[in-house]
Structure 1
Amino acid sequence: MQMLTMQTGAALASRSDWTVLRPLLAQSVVQTLQMVLVTIVIGGALGLVLGVILYGTRPGNLFENRVVYRILDILVNIIRPIPFIIFLAAMQPLTIKVVGTSIGTTAAIFPMVVMCTFATSRLVEQNLVPVDHGVIEAARAMGASKLTIIRTVLIPEALAPLILAYAFLFIGVLDMSAMAGYIGGGGLGNFAIAYGYQKFDQTVTWTAVIIMIVLVQVVQAIANAIAKRLLRR
């Protein structure tokens, strides 16, 4: 249905015919927000867990385990550098098995969540490493369990930089959602390509670009305000 709507719009839309383009733009914004928010929530949560495990299993940390850390470290290093457009193609067989299709917004969300999980895990690990070990050792000396230390000491101590890291992650996920247009995922990326680039209409293309810029600015401003407030405590 989604693809039929976009195809019908492509057939009807003429250069800068905003009577037709306006509802398509609104639909694209909704699709982008859907892909980004679902990916951030699920991939961000899974990435936080994986990042904590990466940090905790590092030599000298709470759950020190060189074998587990090395395996996870290699896995993250393998997946993170893959360009997302290639990752989409590589994940297609698994996406079909899990989602039932390789076309559409839902099919785009699955590989986005997988990539986001691994990207987030490294960001989380990097922001946990600078936490003062003295604070952690003090909590351990007071008899706090390892999970309690993670929940009440480690993550709160790194909360401000973690929030900024997730704001940075939002930009990456938004970029992934734009590339998802190549598999019929819809969104602003597909709108800019189908009704802007392919029709040589810079107005349409820049409308999509400006909306993306506004989304990034809003999220970054909110993250900066929250991080600033946390650092003052």
Structure 2
Amino acid sequence: MKITQEERNAVYKTIFARRDVRKEFIDKPIPDDVLERILIAAHHAPSVGFMQPWDFIVVQNPQTKRKIKQGFLTAHAEATNMFEGERKEKYQNLKLEGIEEAPLGICVTCDRSRTGSAVLGRTAKPEMDLFSAVCAVQNLWLAARAENIGVGWVSIVHDHVIRDALHIPESIDIIAYLCVGYVEHFQTTPDLERFGWLPRREAKSAIHFESWPNPINE
């Protein structure tokens, strides 16, 4: 299947327009067919040994969201004490989740035992199944953006909070809790860049050819 110029442009536009959404969510339900398209796109992510280790838990219940929000508030307070001075003040003023504002939450998990203990491609690098599940998150994120739906990844929450709220077995790894919904608008610049937390690193500084840029002399 050949990709046309118009289709290629749409892919790049979606990649560069993707944002981590925290506060622009609006109260507009996501149609079932749109949600299904997004989840099927996530399900078509690459996976080591084609093991497809992911599952997706869709969360709509306000009480469940509230439990996860309380977990975020606890972890957020803990994290605040890890910063000092101006950095601490800036951290406290950042909006870092939209758990209750977003119409949906989607938890992405990884079942590391799905196809047995020996998995093609995971024999030398056992964490490849976790990386595969992260690829599913990226597929979901880009598909949502193509539908003009925002996604925010909530990482400031302990796994046991999500595990208890969603009744996830201990044998299943929690990869991501995502806030998903339509938004008022998408920001042109990532929040953390916009508010001066960190600048965007120039791409050329991350691209190297043939070897690490400053190899250790042995």
Q: TM exceeds 0.5?
A: no
Q: Higher relative contact order at CA 8 Å, sep ≥6: structure 1 or structure 2?
A: 2
TM-score after normalising by structure 1: 0.24
What TM-score results when the alignment is normalised by the length of structure 2?
A: 0.25
* Greater strand share, structure number: 2
The structure whose residues are more often helix, as a share, is: 1
